[in-house]
A and B are shown apart, each in its own frame.
Chain A
Amino acid sequence: MPDLKIQRKPLDLRPDLTMWKIEGPLDAESIGYIHREFDSVLESKQNFLVAEMSGVTQVSSAAIGQLMGCRQLLVERGGDLVITGVSLDIKSKLSAMGATKIFKFYNELRTAVNAYHWEVERKSEMVWMSFPPELQFVPPVRQMVSRIARQKGYTNRDSFRIETIVDEVCNNAVEHGSERLKKNIDLNIKIDREKIELEVINASDPDKIDALRALSTSMPKTPDAKLGQKRGRGLALIKMLSNKLDINFSGDGTSVHVTKLREE
């Protein structure tokens, strides 16, 4: 059986991050080797290490214990040691050793880097959508945004509120959109660990713009104000559910910008 080989190199996707390409048997005899290689990682002041293990043929609890110790040191320094590329067989064995409760596993390097961006660097991610100004498109759109929020770790309560906000803003965009221009509605979503920002842009006919501007300035303070009042309730609801609401009118359209902070 060939010996264990650990090759240390920068990640192609992010050369400032370090990867270990581990090949061969991670057995008890490899503990010393892992220790020496890890010392050189620490010396280079790297706190985030991706162990790429698609070439690992065997795992022992002693070697995994050694890797857990390495991870602990990195976590104490504000970093992590994450694992990618393990086969289902090796993953089953790691699960039996309890390693899956300690390490974060990613299918591939790309996902590990994405997680680093999101969790450690707190970077935001963008989604751009465009859909026809027809009411039947609004439910799928609002549910997609809500699902993205849930997928990114927002609570069900937050996700539901985000869904309501998207629903109201998009319904307004459909209702007040231009019948003449037949232009799609654009929805831009910026999401990070702390907040989600939504921007909805729709074309409007010039004669509608003034009416919309008047409506936005006279919006009721609460959604249930006056049963007889037909308009403005949606905007009031958005205002209550969100942390910031801006509406901009230009010569040919409207853009609504909403910020919703994440609740923990």
Chain B
Amino acid sequence: MFSMDTQTPYVFKVKFPSDLDYVSPVRKFVAETLAVNKFSPKFAYRSEVIVDEICHNAIIHGSRTVDATVEIECKVFSDRFEFQVNDQGGKRDDIERLKHAMKKSDARLADASQEKESRGLGLEIVRLLSEEIKMEVGEDNMTTVRVVRKREDA
């Protein structure tokens, strides 16, 4: 019925309440969908981690109002996986911090982690596991984080 190649992807979306309860089912859904579309277990696992961290960030810093939601839209091509996470607008400070974290050099955060617990570690993981990551801020500070990952054997 459908086909998937380098131009026409399978597209799937999930919009869910801005609540950490939903992150685990959503990240596993994405990983399992990649696995059934013949991406390697390692690729699926790494994608699961990236989705987890970005959704977590969107919930904590982005979609903060009552009844807020987070949306993830995924495109599975034969040679790559692209996805974007949309939140509903966070605080200006948090957005600036996110922008800064995306541009960071390879300096590891672990030394600081003992004092700061896990703060900042998530984005470091995302940056190092993604080939391409972009962030766009739209109206009302609504933020979209886009990630592209190439299939290892493509």
A147 and B17 contacting across the interface, CB-CB below 8 Å: no
Q: Is B110 an interface residue (CB 8 A)?
A: no
Quick one: closest B residue to A114, CB to CB? B19
B28 proximity list for chain A (CB < 8 A): 140, 143-144, 147
A182 to B19, CA, bound (A): 32
Contact of A184 among B11, B15, B21, B32 (CB under 8 A): B11
> CB-defined interface of A139-153 with B at 8 Å, one 1/0 digit per residue?
111011101100110
Partner of B17, one of A108, A125, A131, A139: A125
Contacts of B16 in A (CB 8 A): 127-128
The one of B18, B19, B29 that contacts A140, using a Cβ cutoff of 8 Å:
B29
A29 within 8 A of B: no
In the complex, what's the smallest C-beta–C-beta distance from B34 to chain A, in angstroms?
9
Distance in angstroms from A154 CB to nearest chain B CB is: 12
Q: Is the CB of B117 within 8 A of A134?
A: no
Spot the interface stretch: B58-66, B95-103, B130-138, B145-153.
B58-66
Q: Inside 8 A of B66's CB, which chain A residues have their CB?
A: 13-14, 113, 117
Question: Is B36 at the interface (CB under 8 A from chain A)?
Answer: yes
Instruction: Tally the A-B contacts, defined by beta carbons under 8 Å.
Output: 90
Interchain CB contact (< 8 A) of B117 among A88, A125, A139: A88
Closest residue of B by beta carbon distance from A148: B25
Bitwise interface map of A from 12 to 35 toward B, beta carbon under 8 Å scored 1, else 0: 011000000000000000000000
- Check: B40 CB closer than 8 A to any chain A CB: no
Q: Is B25 a contact partner of A182 (Cβ separation < 8 A)?
A: no
Nearest residue (CB) in B for A131 is B12
Contact B19 A108 (CB under 8 A): no
Out of A13, A133, A143, name the residue touching B29 (CB < 8 Å): A143
- Other A-B pairs, 20, CB within 8 Å; known A111-B20, A117-B66, A127-B22: A13-B66, A14-B66, A107-B20, A110-B18, A110-B19, A110-B64, A127-B15, A128-B13, A128-B15, A130-B12, A133-B1, A134-B2, A140-B29, A143-B32, A144-B25, A145-B25, A147-B28, A148-B21, A151-B25, A179-B1
Q: List 20 A-B contacts (CB under 8 A).
A: A13-B64, A13-B65, A88-B117, A110-B60, A114-B19, A114-B21, A127-B14, A127-B22, A130-B13, A132-B11, A137-B33, A140-B33, A141-B29, A143-B29, A144-B14, A144-B26, A144-B28, A145-B25, A151-B22, A184-B11
The chain A residues found within 8 Å of chain B, CB to CB, are 13-14, 87-88, 107-108, 110-111, 113-114, 117, 125-134, 136-137, 139-141, 143-145, 147-148, 151-152, 177, 179, 182, 184
